[in-house]
Amino acid sequence: MKIYQNYVGGKWAASSSGKTFEDRNPARWEEIIGTFPRSTPQDVDRAVSAAKEAFESWRLVPAPRRGDIVRKAGDIMSARKEDIAREMTREMGKVVEEARGDVQEGIDTAYYAASEGRRLFGVIAPSELSNKFNMAVRVPVGICGLITPWNFPMAIPTWKIFPALVSGNTVIFKPAEDTPATATTLVEILIEAGVPEGVLNLVHGFGIEAGAALVEHAGVDLISFTGSTEVGRKIAEVCGRTGKRVALEMGGKNAQIVMEDADLELALEGILWGAFGTTGQRCTATSRLIVHEGVYNKFISMVVEKSKTLRIGDGLDENSDVGPLINEQQLQTVQKYVEIGRQEGAKVLLGGVRDDSGECRKGYFFKPTILSDVIPGMRVEKEEIFGPVLAIIKVRSLDEAIQVANDTQYGLSSSIYTKDINKAFQAIRDLRAGITYVNAPTIGAEAHMPFGGVKGTGNGHREGGWTVFDIFTEWKAVYVDYSGKLQRAQIDL
């Protein structure tokens, strides 16, 4: 068992509290991966001080140079991809093939963000006065507090850390307490790549202690958070009160629509991957399947039969298709929602119970679950479950399918399977979501494209692609008057 530490001001250190917490393998709960500092507001305060001191020199490093460091981090991640992926699977549970994809997304983000160091373009505009030059340039925001979830412990931190650093900000990184080892690996890689002391600081711990202290701290200029809608709204309240910039990526209740003219075999592949990939523990997971009545019975039968072939087991086993849930609390949550579905009148066509057979009894495994006869308005149809539970709804038309898809508080991802281009474009226009896929599942975002949602999913910002730099930079207008005399805008015209 390894003893891990925080990284603050260029030094590894224990928490001021002296307390620690354990990080365990969700597939084999008796296996302890390591112990980590249970950080306090005092630890956060030291990290903010270090970040503030480092900011004054880091912001002056040319953006292409900052990008070169992030690019080198991508090279290191690429060389160590397999080791990182296997460590991630031990810590988080996802099957190792998916963990490799998680690492690859971090690598892709590194190379993309690095290239943006040469494209932090400003704007030049004509002046309304003679002999005057107008432009707008991007400048860093300052001290950024980044709070990340456990389900993508490499990819999501890179979405935030890499563009924040390239933009010239300094960072306090508070990862989820369920995946602190992968977070530590990422920080070690960035140190090796050449990030100066104090520019990147790592503070482990729990949300109610370290996370809350980071959000409340007067020295933090920006909070970027990915997690539940409930917690995100509380963070937004604090940031509104304290005047911080805040970027939120929260929950989802994503729907895949299957029309009567769809390629059903293709839609079947999509629903299995979207609903049960990462054991349903994605904000973009396909948790609702909306099927046209013309193919409803046939397609449900196909989904049930194919789902029976999914192999549940330790993610390090290359034969496993579905790994464990992250912890006991999440297992209880999933079990609770299946029971709620039963009480509401849904039928459990498959699964619905914990898998405690063989080696699975050592971890938090839950069988892929399919609920039919789900009616719009049921809790299992409207609330995020974050597990391998698929709710199926029958509809009579595309208009009804879109109405059902939109009728939740969330708006992250959406999908439609159809061979009719007119139906596809209507769905693209009318689905209220930040992402829409045509003839693909609700998962599969790419690093160079905007990522985020509407309604209860976020507050308007987009991670990924060029849009993430709107989070981590401020616009500064600059006027250069070379007329040699006072010119009064809007007056001397």
Please list the active-site residues.
249, 283
Q: Are 176 and 202 in contact (CB under 8 A)?
A: no
CA 155/CA 105 separation, integer angstroms:
6
Q: What is the DSSP string of 273-323?
A: HHHHGGGG-STT-EEEEEEETTTHHHHHHHHHHHHTTPPBS-TTSTT-SB-
Q: What b/e readout covers 418-429, taking b as 16+ CB neighbours within 10 angstroms?
A: beeeebbebbee
CA 171 to chain centre: 18
- The one-letter amino acid code at 336 reads K
Pairwise CA distance, residues 14 & 2, whole Å: 13
End-to-end CA distance of the chain: 74
CA distances in angstroms from 219 to 45, 68, 216, listed in the order given = 8, 28, 9
Measured CA to CA in angstroms, residue 248 lies from 276, 399, 404, 417 at distances of 25, 30, 25, 29
Q: Which three-class secondary structure state does DSSP give residue 31?
A: strand
Q: Burial level of 482, CB count in 10 A (0-12/13-18/19+)?
A: exposed
Q: Is 296 exposed, middle or buried (0-12, 13-18, 19+ CB in 10 A)?
A: buried
Distance CA 171, CA 158 (A): 12
Question: What's the Rg (C-alpha) of the chain?
Answer: 24
* Interatomic CA distance for residues 62 and 59, integer angstroms: 8
Task: Report how many helices (DSSP H) and strands (DSSP E) the chain contains, helices first.
Answer: 15, 20
Residue type, 247: A
Query: Pick from 253, 283, 228, 282: which is nearest to 378 by CA?
Result: 253
Q: In one letter, which amino acid is 225? A: F
